[in-house]
């Protein structure tokens, strides 16, 4: 249906979540009409409460595993629990969200001829043998483990995106996101950055899983959202997949040290067992994102951690 309002009507699924809420802020600031859709599985309305009075912002309670009929120009499909604690809570629903959710959002994009962006993940690379990981690497994923509902759900959804593109000529933009952190992460979702910061602020022990030598690359949320918008703005026909992440690579012990330096306090490190299938290393090759969009993350880990510590210390005081 033609849009006479001359504003881009943009649907953000998972819009009340950590990344989704930052994306809604950015899109509203750029003059979009935003439909923020969420089933509030992992969040409350708090992340978007400040947008509720805005006439260009609409909050809808809906589960992407069910069909959705709205008229839109662009779709960012972010709906999916992202932390291992959340996605392993109801693994069947996690796969349904990735797969049925992708089918519904692709069907919607097909009918409305909307451009569609999908938040995929570095988990498609599993526990990688290639380091750093370029988009051309096919990955090493356990299909029957406790992380599989997330990894294989996302991989199947990637297949659907590329088949809708080939079969129905859909305008798709596929991002593979590496660990991202920042304000509005959930304090209890079990992810390493929120865990370490909350533990340090409360003076509790810092829980290191395994020997702490496994690595991750952490991207600050503002950098990532800039990457989303740039990828969405690339020319029609450019599909990705495109890695988005900060190539700085740190062990979990190094991360714990940095958090303790910023927060201070007397927390001690305690070593706990490593969860099954926990990847040993992760580092994005971001050459393609840089070449296609000029995107490079700007916020160093120490700076991003400081901003995140500020956020959590206010949250814990409230
Ligand atoms: P989040 O849990 O904060 O946000 C996900 C949102 O989706 C939540 O608000 C949740 O309530 C909603 N949701 C879950 N299932 C839904 C459903 N069936 N229907 C409608 N809404 C549903 O997590 P996030 O970190 O903001 O992640 C957003 C997206 O980015 C996810 O698709 C995730 O897989 C992807 N991603 C995130 C990271 C990261 O480091 N944050 C890394 C890789 C990929
Ligand atoms: N769909 C939706 N909104 C729309 C159009 C489709 O949610 O505006 C859903 C619908 O449930 C459908 C799915 O997307 O089953 C896939 O749509 P597609 O057109 O590819 O398949 P079909 O309708 O032919 O099964
Ligand atoms: N981790 C840890 N302590 C925690 C939480 C996580 O050592 O309290 C480790 C976890 O085992 C993994 C890394 O930190 O090796 C990143 O975990 P997260 O759940 O944040 O992300 P993912 O494993 O999905 O990359």
Q: How far is the CA of 216 from the centre of ligand 2 (A)?
A: 37
CB of 1 closer than 6 angstroms to any ligand 2 atom: no
Query: What CA–CA distance (Å, rounded) separates 30 from 168?
Result: 30
- The pLDDT, as a whole number, for residue 158 is 98
CB of 154 closer than 6 angstroms to any ligand 3 atom: no
Q: Which ligand is nearest to the CA of 13?
A: 1
251: exposed, middle or buried (Cβ count in 10 Å: 0-12, 13-18, 19+): middle
Q: How far is the CA of 152 from the centre of ligand 2 (A)?
A: 22
Helical (H) or strand (E) element with 192: helix 192-202
Closest C-alpha residue for ligand 2 atom 16: 107
Between CA 217 and CA 219, with CA 218 as vertex, the angle to 5 degrees is 125
**Which residue in this structure is represented by tokens 């971001």?**
286
CB of 99 closer than 6 angstroms to any ligand 2 atom: no
Q: Which ligand is nearest to the CA of 114?
A: 2
pTM (2 decimals)? 0.97
Q: What percent of the chain has pLDDT over 70?
A: 98
Q: How far is the CA of 66 from the centre of ligand 2 (A)?
A: 10
Maximal C-alpha separation, the chain: 60
Q: Are 39 and 90 in contact (CB under 8 A)?
A: no
Q: How far is the CA of 58 from the centre of ligand 3 (A)?
A: 34
Q: Are 101 and 81 in contact (CB under 8 A)?
A: no
The CA–CA distances, whole Å, from 253 to 78, 213, 257, 268 equal: 30, 7, 6, 12
237-271 per-position pLDDT tens digit: 999 999 999 999 999 999 999 999 999 988 999 99
Residue 5 pLDDT exceeds 70: no
111: left (phi over 0), alpha (psi -120 to 50) or beta: alpha
Q: Are 97 and 153 in contact (CB under 8 A)?
A: yes
Closest C-alpha residue for ligand 2 atom 7: 67
Closest C-alpha residue for ligand 2 atom 18: 107
Given the DSSP bridges, would you call strands 172-177 and 57-61 parallel, antiparallel or unpaired?
unpaired
Pocket of ligand 1 (CB under 6 A): 13-14, 16-20, 38-43, 63-65, 78-82, 86, 97, 101, 119, 121, 177, 179-180
153-199 per-position pLDDT tens digit: 999 999 999 999 999 999 999 999 999 999 999 999 899 999 999 99
112-152 per-position pLDDT tens digit: 999 999 999 999 999 999 999 999 999 999 999 999 999 99
- The pLDDT-based confidence of 24 (bands split at 50, 70, 90) is very high
Give the residue numbers annotated as catalytic, written as ranges. 150
């Amino acid at each position: 249906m033609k849009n006479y309002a001359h504003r881009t009507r943009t649907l953000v699924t998972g819009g009340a979540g950590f990344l989704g809420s930052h994306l809604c802020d950015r899109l509203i600031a750029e003059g979009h009409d935003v439909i923020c859709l969420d089933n509030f599985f992992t969040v409350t309305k708090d992340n978007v409460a400040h947008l509720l009075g805005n006439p260009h912002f609409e909050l809808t309670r809906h589960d992407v595993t069910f069909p959705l009929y709205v008229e839109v120009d662009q779709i960012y499909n972010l709906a999916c629990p992202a932390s291992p604690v959340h996605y392993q809570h109801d693994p069947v629903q996690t796969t349904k969200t990735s797969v049925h959710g992708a089918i519904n959002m692709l069907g919607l994009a097909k009918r409305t001829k909307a451009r569609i962006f999908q938040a995929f993940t570095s988990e498609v690379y599993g526990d990688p043998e290639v380091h750093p990981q370029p988009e051309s690497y096919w990955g090493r994923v356990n299909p029957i483990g406790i992380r599989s509902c997330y990894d294989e759900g996302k991989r199947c959804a990637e297949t659907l995106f590329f088949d809708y593109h080939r079969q129905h000529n859909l305008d798709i933009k596929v991002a593979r996101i590496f660990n991202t952190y920042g304000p509005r992460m959930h304090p209890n979702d079990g992810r390493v950055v929120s865990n370490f910061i909350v533990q340090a602020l409360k003076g509790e022990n810092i829980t290191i899983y395994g020997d702490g030598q496994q690595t991750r690359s952490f991207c600050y949320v503002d950098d990532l959202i800039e990457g989303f918008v740039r990828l969405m703005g690339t020319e029609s026909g450019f599909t990705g997949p495109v890695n988005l992440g900060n190539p700085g690579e740190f062990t979990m012990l190094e991360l714990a040290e940095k958090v303790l330096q910023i927060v201070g306090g007397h927390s001690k490190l305690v070593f706990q067992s490593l969860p099954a299938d926990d990847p040993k290393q992760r580092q994005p090759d971001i050459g393609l994102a840089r070449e296609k969009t000029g995107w490079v993350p700007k916020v160093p880990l120490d700076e991003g951690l400081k901003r995140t510590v500020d956020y959590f210390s206010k949250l814990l005081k409230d």
